[in-house]
A and B are shown apart, each in its own frame.
Chain A
């Protein structure tokens, strides 16, 4: 197992360098100049421009800039934001918990509903529940996420007033934020109502962000279950006189989980990166919104560093998924 993890970690190296290069190139290909953006509408003199250019090192050849950046990254220095002057690293980890919290909630939501729904649909193949679920899943999958979010806000926040429109917690509550995970922090703060408020703020973003993974997981679970239910070992299980619930829930699901885990892993990756839209709509103070703002400001170090750290997070998730495979599927474990 240790060898396996180490060999997987080794494959991170080219990915890591690739992501560094792409993110470095990507932001520079975009039209616009960070110094001009910084100057704002008043503009600046040519001398001041040259001075800033030299300060940021933009006057040097591009490969030298990349080399500087790469060596910095390898030493753990992602640079400082042009706008806030704070290290990218600090900014990222101040905001990342918010994104992680939202993504985890969305994933739990998607799995808790998608998995059982897929199983029930497969077991009742062709019946009403199956058809209804599969068409709903298709709608959920194809719906534009911003439209879905606005719809939910209008109904549940606007008309029904059940949930807040945006943010992570009511402004009434204030407490130090040691972990950055609002659910945990509000709970340990001991302030009455803080946790409930945090939960209520999470509901809509969770649903919006979890909808696509939910649809994908439900459909994948259904098709995997259908395939497994035709296998010989399911007939064996029935020949043992087991109840259908046990056969579907243990014998079949355990096998069907193997492809589903893949989909879940891929979804987590897209969630971390794809939270951008949801976070923007709900003013969720996570890395998605931070990245979007930084792109508009041409804040090179933030965009580069942010992309890199997101990529690393996705790679770690994928590694975890690969190790989960071994737990679920014994054929992979023994090798």
Chain B
């Protein structure tokens, strides 16, 4: 049985101009020890679906799902206090902006020890020992001294390491990393990704990596789920996805990678993700798709089977590749 199982998750936000569906019928599975990457442009609902899982959405959000279980616990019908025992403990999350994700008024040591006290009930000495250990584990030099530093006294990369240390402090079964490297320098990005992969290898936790960077996906992920405008449009193991993308959107994303570009000009996908008011009637990608016809524009596609990566397209690409090779 998978560690995380989500079926038909939808999230809508109440806005002044009516409800806005940010996540639309998403299925997701994560197995223990697996690295799943969720890819998509801004506004594709990739963060929102994971925030819904954590129970971190504002009160304007309405979350519905057929099923949302984590480690055998039904997260849909769970009290707030019972959820708090799981969140931050077995299920942890790190965020995009490490500088603003840490509280500026408390030392990083205080913030990491707080989690240890709340969830594990360790005494003062044990907390300190564990905090030092965690800092060493995430590669923060001179941990004893760093524990008493404030977030503004450290670099973004160090702060993200602190966030990671905090997230793994209670040895979670699943860590969700929401664009953990977006706000960091390129050299630091690689270090943080390596660190996350290493931690996965050491602890055997599952890892969900939310990103819009295909390069990060290629480097780290094992299985990739592509989201577009709140829907999951394709899901494949990373190698298969890069070799034979089935959805035109995935293919276009891959073509836009600088490493793959053959022309002088980097290919782009024209247009933007549809918003609240310009949601197409048929396939959500049809206005931007170069293969779209009237059928695409009129009838929304339903997901295909696992052999085609659950692709949501009337005319999937590379369908016969498997037969050929």
Contacts and interface: CB of A to CB of B under 8 A. Distances in A.
Interface of A: 231-233, 235-243, 251, 254-255, 328-331, 334
A236 B84 contact: no
Given A330-B152, A334-B153, A241 B118 contact: yes
B23 interface: no
A239 B105 contact: no
Contacts of A233: 100-104
A237 B102 CA distance: 9
Given A236-B103, A241-B119, A334-B150, 12 more contacts: A232-B101, A233-B101, A235-B56, A239-B56, A239-B167, A241-B87, A241-B115, A251-B106, A255-B104, A328-B105, A330-B107, A334-B153
Interface stretch (B61-69, B88-96, B128-136, B186-194): B88-96
A5 B250 CA distance: 62
Contacts of A242: 84, 88, 114, 118
B54 interface: yes
Contacts of B104: 233, 255, 329-331
Nearest to B112: A240
A255 B118 contact: no
Nearest to A251: B103
B213 interface: no
Contacts of B167: 239
A209 B174 CA distance: 55
A158 B102 CA distance: 55
**Contact residues on B (Cβ < 8 Å of other chain), bracket:** 20 to 34
B210 interface: no
A98 to B, nearest CB: 37
A240 B88 contact: yes
A236 B106 contact: no
Contact of A236 (B85, B101, B118, B152): B101
A123 to B, nearest CB: 12
B209 interface: no
18 contacts: A232-B97, A232-B101, A235-B101, A236-B163, A237-B103, A238-B87, A239-B56, A239-B87, A239-B88, A241-B88, A241-B119, A251-B103, A251-B106, A254-B105, A255-B104, A330-B150, A334-B150, A334-B153
B166 interface: yes
A239 B53 CA distance: 11
Nearest to B104: A331
B252 interface: no
Contacts of B163: 236
Contact of B85 (A232, A241, A328, A330): A241
A255 B101 contact: no
A236 B114 contact: no
Contacts of A243: 81, 84
Nearest to A236: B101
B87 A235 contact: no
Contacts of B52: none
Given A231-B100, A232-B100, A331-B150, A238 B118 contact: no
A167 B41 CA distance: 71
B197 interface: no
Contact of B92 (A231, A235, A239): A239
B86 interface: yes
A233 B108 CA distance: 12
A221 B118 CA distance: 27
A240 B102 CA distance: 12
Given A232-B97, A236-B95, A331 B152 contact: yes
The 10 closest A-B pairs by CB, nearest first: A241-B88, A240-B88, A232-B100, A233-B103, A241-B87, A241-B84, A254-B105, A330-B150, A232-B101, A239-B93
A239 B102 contact: no
B114 A240 contact: yes
Nearest to A233: B103
A255 B152 CA distance: 14
Contact of A240 (B100, B115, B150, B153): B115
Nearest to B97: A232
Interface string B112-132: 001100110000000000000
A235 B81 CA distance: 16
B93 to A, nearest CB: 5
Contacts of B152: 330-331
A139 B97 CA distance: 41
- The winner among A231, A241, A329 for most chain B CB atoms within 10 A is A241
Contacts of B86: 241
Interface centre among A233, A237, A242 (most CB of B within 10 A): A233
B175 to A, nearest CB: 11
The residue among A240, A243, A328 with the most chain B CB atoms within 10 A of its own CB is A240
A254 B95 contact: no
A80 to B, nearest CB: 51
A241 B89 contact: yes
A334 B84 CA distance: 35
Contact of B56 (A238, A254, A334): A238
Contacts of B118: 240-242
B101 A240 contact: no
A239 B97 CA distance: 14
A330 B118 CA distance: 24
A240 B166 contact: yes
A258 B104 CA distance: 12
Nearest to B119: A241
A159 B320 CA distance: 94
A320 B114 CA distance: 30
A235 B176 CA distance: 14
Interface in B13-71: 54-56
Nearest to A238: B56
Contact of B103 (A241, A255, A328, A334): A255
Nearest to A237: B103
B149 to A, nearest CB: 10
A151 to B, nearest CB: 40
